[in-house]
Structure 1
């Protein structure tokens, strides 16, 4: 039998509507589930079950009267710690930041509250969101529910762990180089990075997006109707849309899909990952798509340029901190960041210009194909205690070759499970669409989920 904690958003809304389950009853079941899991995976920050009970009770009253606030009324949600909630500090995953309460809700938080979602916790991330890892100088070490000795990825580490462990159907992460998709791949969940500006963020900057992290494609689609409403605080926020986010049907016959098995630089692709992605490509072919092998969009020069730009930018962010505060940053990240101290303005601009080259390269490829599929991550897994798949601050971005170009080109991309390794760890398939065609990515993802049946053997809670 399906446990209450495994219910989808659609199923929960139906039960809230027909009164066979109330938001309060669901929350209390979820609360016990979280209590069983949290000591093992440490996914949460600022967890407040008492406040969640109050929000769920208010939602229960609204449903009893037949007056829900919106399409997510009563649905429990977590937010990545970088997403501000009024009155709570935003530690940015690091011990170096002073804990000052946020003055206002971020755009995502505001939209969720408007629609009645139950925001019950923040989720962990590494220092400044600068690692693909659950390692942080501020938070406890977050772990992968499939195997707690392994890393959940990052920087949306806690969100991916929470989704895989079933902490409710909806978790929101952020992504500037793969921070939604990479952990989604390593934890078997669905992660969606929409077109840049589709979900308003604050602060916004080059490549930074936010996106849902869920167990199913449809749960993400339900969330997009709420999250995609514009907000003036994001200068890249897209205009209001009339998208029917739940219209997920697609016929792939005749579509030209590029299969990218080489990122162009960085870590080589594990054989098990390559085989799983090739098998996924065959699913598209069997459904009538035309799959063609395509060359990488990324070069070593592009990735190294981005590294230079990000080091310079991050050093600029932290140079105003006292030496004592800077020394509190996770050593891996601080060692990497100090490389930015000697980067000239000219070299920083040259590094930034490589983001434009990525965009140019991605744009050219999409004159030849309708969509692209690739591995999300080049490797199967790595230890929970490591700061990155290389664990080397001199080689910090060797694992983001498949994901980061699409941030710079502002194109929508998802990660969906396409199999498991011999060690039992999930393997992610990335699906990329043209700029602004978020629905194509969701529809292709839903089609693939239908063909495979999706993940059904989610990790069981301890005890």
Structure 2
């Protein structure tokens, strides 16, 4: 079943339904007292209640608490004490702790213990006045590019509910595309923001490692915004990038010009990586869509050069070994009853790590460094690198991965994973659609720590893209 759509809206004109307004539009309207945070929150709640039975994107949805927060925001606007994101509805991925809400990590195997405090990304958004509507769903332990979970209901893609939203930020991608408010935040360790953003047709930024403080921190793991527009993601980065001492791996804080999104394409040297070098072959429709984007950048004056693939089978298989062993450390320590509650696909995959030798695990872990060095060596000469986000469009909703084989779990992340290891900022921005109406993501990767640059080039493409379509409606 595919979603029904409305006519395309010019981005300069607010939508008739408040749920479809951008964060920028909401903040401007609040300042003029044209609408209130309560009215907006009520509109988003109506959208959720209409769509959520089909999409199953949310966890811990609390409309009463959201309305209380919206009323407090309304009072701040009335007093002239508005905060930077005051009254803008938002969702937060389930694995980012919010005080008082259990963090099951997508699996039925974990106890439902309420979190003692907000994790850094949730704390920054709450401090800046967002109205937190809900958490968003994810697969077991965040180790699938899928909306399949042993704890949460199966999440689906708003563009076609027979398809997968991707993952592991599955609910966040679906919520952004469906208009569950303008601001959403996911996490990414191998593509978990960019893959669902690409398959759901929204913008998703995997920032430089350490740019957004996170807790717990881990090699390659980041939090980042998932929004309908680049500007809304930039608004989030202004808040999310503020420091937090709990993340000992975070970057020194920089007051960056997040909202300065202009860029001169004529001055840019852009690399193009059309082949991942490993994994699922690139689908012809995805190739044609990304090639069209490259042509338009060339016509706008950018210097274009091919980037050969650099991720090898040894790198990907080594990382797979390391991640399996890491997952088995969590799952293997559970009792037999708890282990039986883990999604069978994930349990089977993780069990592959229990017999690995110390040398094999070390070799696998070392492939993160090998991948890091290869990514920087291949891309450092370019201002930006363009590529597909994924080799295929969204796949059937019920599958754990495109191949659905735990012995070949990562054949679809060849374009994304290396840039987690290399610390480089990397985004997915919609490039167009398949003949069947499924979104295709364009990956924009910058030099290490050039998060603002990635936002700027993504915004440039957002204005250039000829394949805009209305957001899905039910």
Give the match's secondary structure for 1:167.
Answer: coil
- Structure 1 position 219, deviation (Å): 0.5
How big is each residue's C-alpha offset from its partner over 1:241-279, in whole Å with a ceiling of 9 and x where there is no partner?
A: 111101000001131111101101000000000000000
Equivalent residue in structure 1 for 2:333, among 315, 320, 330: 320
How big is each residue's C-alpha offset from its partner over 1:323-364, in whole Å with a ceiling of 9 and x where there is no partner?
A: 110111000000000001101111111001111111111111
Unaligned runs of 5+ residues in structure 1 are none
Tell me, in whole angstroms, the C-alpha distance in 1 between the residues paired with 2:132 and 2:394: 30
Pairing 1:262–2:275 present = yes
Tell me the TM-score normalized by structure 1. Answer: 0.98
Pairing 1:53–2:70 present = no
Tell me, in whole angstroms, the C-alpha distance in 2 between the residues paired with 1:317 and 1:58: 41
Tell me, in whole angstroms, the C-alpha distance in 2 between the residues paired with 1:54 and 1:39: 24
- Structure 1 position 297, deviation (Å): 2.2
Give the match's secondary structure for 1:355.
Answer: helix
Tell me, in whole angstroms, the C-alpha distance in 2 between the residues paired with 1:422 and 1:454: 12
Tell me the TM-score normalized by structure 2. Answer: 0.96
Partner residue, 2:177? 164
Give the match's secondary structure for 1:327.
Answer: helix
How big is each residue's C-alpha offset from its partner over 1:100-154, in whole Å with a ceiling of 9 and x where there is no partner?
A: 1111110011111111111110000000000000000000000000000000000
Partner residue, 1:87? 100
- Structure 1 position 89, deviation (Å): 0.4
Contact in 2 for aligned 1:188/1:455 (Cα 8 Å): no
- Structure 1 position 456, deviation (Å): 4.1
- Structure 1 position 6, deviation (Å): 1.2
How big is each residue's C-alpha offset from its partner over 1:422-446, in whole Å with a ceiling of 9 and x where there is no partner?
A: 1110000000001111011000000
Measured at CA, do residues 230 and 454 of structure 1 come closer, stay the same or move farther in structure 2, by a change above 3 Å? farther
Tell me, in whole angstroms, the C-alpha distance in 2 between the residues paired with 1:226 and 1:2: 28
- Structure 1 position 453, deviation (Å): 6.1
Pairing 1:37–2:69 present = no
For residues 16-415 of structure 1, what are the structure 2 equivalents within 5 Å?
Answer: 16-68=30-82, 70-415=83-428
Contact in 1 for aligned 2:433/2:467 (Cα 8 Å): no
Deviates more, 1:391-400 or 1:253-262: 253-262
Tell me, in whole angstroms, the C-alpha distance in 2 between the residues paired with 1:82 and 1:417: 25
Tell me, in whole angstroms, the C-alpha distance in 1 between the residues paired with 2:467 and 2:185: 20
Contact in 1 for aligned 2:307/2:379 (Cα 8 Å): no
The alignment yields a C-alpha RMSD, in angstroms, of: 0.9
Unaligned runs of 5+ residues in structure 2 are 1-14
4+ residue segments displaced more than 4 Å: none
- Structure 1 position 29, deviation (Å): 1.1
Contact in 2 for aligned 1:419/1:427 (Cα 8 Å): yes
Partner residue, 2:26? 12
Matched length? 460
How big is each residue's C-alpha offset from its partner over 1:193-250, in whole Å with a ceiling of 9 and x where there is no partner?
A: 0000001111111100010000000000011000000111111111121111010000
Tell me, in whole angstroms, the C-alpha distance in 2 between the residues paired with 1:349 and 1:457: 48
- Structure 1 position 172, deviation (Å): 0.2
